[in-house]
Amino acid sequence: MTGSAEGASTDGDTESAPRERRAVVAKRVESGSADLTEITQLAAAAGYEVVGELTQTRTEDAAFMFGKGKVSELRDLVRRTGAGAVIIDNDVGPYQTFNIGGELPEGVEVIDRFTLILEIFGQRANTRKAQLQVELAELRYELPRAEAKASLAKRDERPGFMGLGEYDESVERDIKRQISEIRDELESIAEKEEARREQRRDSGFDLVALAGYTNAGKSTLMRRLAAEIDVDENAERHPDLDTTAESQDMLFTTLGTTTRRAEMEKRDVLLTDTVGFISDLPHWLVESFESTLDSVYRADLVLLVVDASEPVEEMREKLVTSHDTLYERNEAPVVTVFNKVDRLAPGELADKRAALSGVAPDPVAVSAKTGAGVAELRDRVEAELPDWERERLVLPLSDDAMSLVSWIHDHGHVEEETYADDQVTLDFEAKPSIVARARSKAAGLAPAESR
């Protein structure tokens, strides 16, 4: 067994954060060395100041997660650093949480990985849909623990144990009832969003979704791809669109979906950024945010953004996991985007392309920060979107015909427009549904021709 503990001694006059926001991060692994990078980033995203670290390599202890001696070491580290919370980068069971907390100074909170993620989600939930998804995840997390908490409370004759309060069978029934009600409301929201997606498609828009792990640079890439003129949130044909996407070196700055109009040569594209993937998420947590992932599953094209500055094995693992998530329900083509190539040494990109060719056979290399490769990405997006149909319409010169000409310009790409002999001829490309509607509109313009 191996392990380590690091921390800095502090006193009350020099603390930069209140005690309850000062945390020690800890992690146990079965073999190898524990990496605390991600849990430290998650702690920072939740607003904690990490003041100490502890790791251990050993098999899981049923009572304490860590070995009993390591828990004593954790207690000393908490005292030395003045931390008010211990954040454990493992799935800690309720019994283990209780046992670890009993060894720590009074008032120190024990937070596991998933509780921390839910705390972050709760802080980022600014829409009704996001708030419902966070609440659903919290209830799903609590449900299997309710019985264990009740058992402990009964054993120790402490009804208020672990914050559960008086427990009876109605607690579980109440949790299940709340889950059912939230599911119903989320389903109603999902139906409205699906109707809006179809409305956008009917207006000639292609829907492109950004997917990938947190901190891969999705929001930065979205800002780079977005048109200079934001989508009009009040426009009838694409209502309720967000016009900004945060770009920060922080996890989960994007919790809900953010949609902007992308700048393309021919096609009208709406680009949607969603919550980033994160490693080791349990199925119940992914399911809670299923309606957010619908923006990915129901897109016409998905851009899977990967941080190319990470080690090859880490990139491979994230690509495989992302593919499992995407291809489970998604039918749209997926284009892999190697982002942050400005951080690579000469020749490093070619090496990574070769090493990852099995999981990313034809990636587009870009730097969202500098703009390198973004033009090529735009070309690739237009090439990968569903094919458009070519059409020629010959229309009479009339006010109604000019309205149709304007509508076709708005919903497709006009290759040629000529006027002669009281007629206007349009050669254009558009989605098949738009071409069909243009033909129908043209048929009502007498005397109109179409061929």
The reported pLDDT for the residue numbered 143 is 80
Which secondary structure element, helix H or strand E, spans residue 395, and what is its range? strand 389-396
Which CATH code of 3.40.50.11060, 3.40.50.2300, 3.40.640.10, 3.30.470.20 fits the domain covering 2-121?
3.40.50.11060
Known binding residue 97? Answer is: no
Known binding residue 275? Answer is: yes
- Residue 258 is which amino acid? T
Could you tell me the pTM of the whole model?
Answer: 0.64
The reported pLDDT for the residue numbered 256 is 57
Known binding residue 126? Answer is: no
Known binding residue 227? Answer is: no
Known binding residue 312? Answer is: no
204-384 has which CATH code? 3.40.50.300
Known binding residue 288? Answer is: no
- Cβ(124)–Cβ(252) below 8 Å: yes
The reported pLDDT for the residue numbered 10 is 44
Cα Rg of the chain, angstroms: 27
Known binding residue 309? Answer is: no
Q: Count other C-beta atoms under 10 Å from residue 446's C-beta.
A: 8
Known binding residue 272? Answer is: no
Known binding residue 115? Answer is: no
Known binding residue 217? Answer is: yes
Known binding residue 340? Answer is: yes
Known binding residue 83? Answer is: no
Known binding residue 68? Answer is: no
How high is the mean pLDDT in each 10-residue block of the chain (451 residues)? Answer: 59 63 95 91 91 96 95 96 95 88 94 87 77 85 70 55 52 86 87 77 82 86 72 34 42 61 84 75 65 74 94 92 76 90 95 95 94 94 86 88 87 86 87 83 67 40
Residue for token pair 């828990």: 71
Q: What is the DSSP secondary structure assignment for residue 203, as one 8-state letter?
A: T
Query: Would you call the peptide bond into 311 cis, given omega within 30 degrees of 0 as the criterion?
Result: no
- Cβ(395)–Cβ(445) below 8 Å: yes
Known binding residue 342? Answer is: yes
Known binding residue 295? Answer is: no
Known binding residue 321? Answer is: no
Q: Which CATH class is domain 389-450?
A: alpha beta
